[in-house]
């Protein structure tokens, strides 16, 4: 694979003629200068993408990708996830990733790129290294801090450096706080309720009510732990259970479809093939064959 240049570079390296029609950037210090600070937002980059994509290889920084309109797909750590307004994607130092527009083929986004002498330690101690997407409970407050950083960088006033460092720390700590896991017991109960009701699935509102929380809290809980929604968790679990039944029983396909919550055998076969790449009968004949991962 041919290595492409990184999009987020220091001001000295930024190719203005190539990107000026699509991007607006804000700098104050170069990447080399910023390396001596504890943590520093090198650039706040606003961009409009139409049918665009970009690949990072062995990325040098931490990038926060913040969609404002449309959708952004990120492929990282062999997993593809879709971001919309309200989500924040994390592109980690030293990793490969692919960014592209979502189903609407359009994305307006803000990107904030961090470096600094203490960045690696901050990411590790806050467990942000385990995350590729976060859904903040107060997205507007997060955007407000991003805007404050942008305005301070635009000032080109080096007297603002201490305040900018403080804002950068505040932003990372906001993410770290969102990454603080809810009660493991509550999350385990939520999983049990969803798994135990796949044949007659409860609406998400009823699951949340049974746990004593609201639907949005339940949704954020699954995003924090697994980076998927409760509905997607159920869909993946159905396929996992179907695999187990196909491998360990001789139940007909229509019975397995019913046991895993599908209304018809045809619907089950279509979903199974979509998620694994093979039919249920082909899987039964060769369950150890390499196929797509259906549950993360």
DSSP 69-138: EE-EEEEETTEEEEE-TT-EEEE-TT--EEEEE-TTSEEEEEEEEEE-TTHHHHHHHTTGGG-SEE--TT
Q: How far apart are CA 241 and CA 78, in angstroms?
A: 23
Task: Report which DSSP code applies to 195.
Answer: H
- Largest Cα span, the chain: 73
Distance of CA 171 to the CA centre of its chain: 17
Q: What is the pLDDT along the chain (296 residues), one digit of tens a residue?
A: 333 333 332 333 333 333 333 445 567 888 788 888 999 999 898 899 887 888 888 788 999 999 999 999 999 887 888 999 999 999 988 888 999 999 999 999 999 999 999 988 888 777 788 788 998 888 999 999 999 999 999 988 999 999 999 999 999 999 988 766 455 678 888 888 888 778 776 788 888 888 888 888 888 888 888 888 898 999 998 998 899 899 888 899 999 999 898 989 999 999 999 999 999 999 999 887 655 544 43
Tokens of 232: 């997607």
Closest to 61 in 3D by CA, of 47, 41, 83: 41
Q: How far apart are CA 192 and CA 138, in angstroms?
A: 28
Q: How far apart are CA 232 and CA 115, in angstroms?
A: 34
Helix (H, G, I), strand (E, B) or coil at 172: helix
Tokens of 213: 């929380």
Task: Report which DSSP code applies to 180.
Answer: S
Closest to 260 in 3D by CA, of 252, 156, 38: 252
φ and ψ at residue 24, rounded to 5 degrees: -125, 125
- 44 Cβ neighbours under 8 A, 6+ residues apart: 25, 26, 110, 111, 112, 146, 149, 150, 153
Tokens of 289: 């064959």
């Amino acid at each position: 694979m041919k290595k492409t240049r990184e999009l987020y570079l220091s001001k000295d390296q930024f190719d203005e003629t190539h990107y000026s029609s699509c991007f607006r950037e804000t700098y104050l210090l170069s990447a080399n200068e910023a390396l001596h600070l504890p943590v520093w937002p090198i650039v706040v980059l606003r961009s409009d993408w139409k049918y665009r994509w970009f690949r990072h290889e062995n990325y040098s920084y931490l990038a926060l990708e913040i969609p404002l309109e449309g959708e952004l797909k990120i492929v990282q750590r062999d997993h593809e996830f879709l971001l919309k307004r309200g989500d924040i994607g994390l592109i980690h130092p030293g990793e490969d990733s692919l960014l592209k527009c979502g189903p609407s083929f359009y994305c307006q986004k803000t990107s904030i790129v961090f470096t600094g002498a203490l960045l690696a330690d901050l990411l590790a101690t806050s467990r942000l290294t385990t995350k590729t997407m976060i859904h903040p409970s107060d997205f507007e407050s997060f955007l407000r801090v991003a805007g404050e950083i942008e305005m301070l960088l635009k000032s080109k006033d080096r007297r603002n450096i201490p305040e900018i460092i403080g804002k950068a720390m505040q932003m990372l700590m906001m993410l770290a706080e969102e990454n603080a896991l809810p009660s493991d017991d509550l999350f385990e109960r939520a999983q049990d309720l969803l798994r135990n009701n796949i044949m007659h699935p409860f609406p998400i509102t009823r699951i949340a009510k049974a746990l004593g929380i609201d639907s949005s809290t339940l949704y954020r809980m699954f995003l924090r732990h697994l980076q998927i929604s409760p509905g997607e968790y159920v869909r993946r679990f159905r396929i996992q259970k179907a695999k187990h039944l196909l491998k360990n029983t001789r139940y007909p396909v229509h019975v397995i479809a019913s046991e895993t919550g599908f209304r018809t055998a045809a619907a089950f076969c279509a979903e199974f093939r979509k998620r694994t790449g093979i039919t249920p009968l082909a899987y039964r004949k060769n369950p150890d064959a390499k196929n797509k991962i259906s549950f993360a």
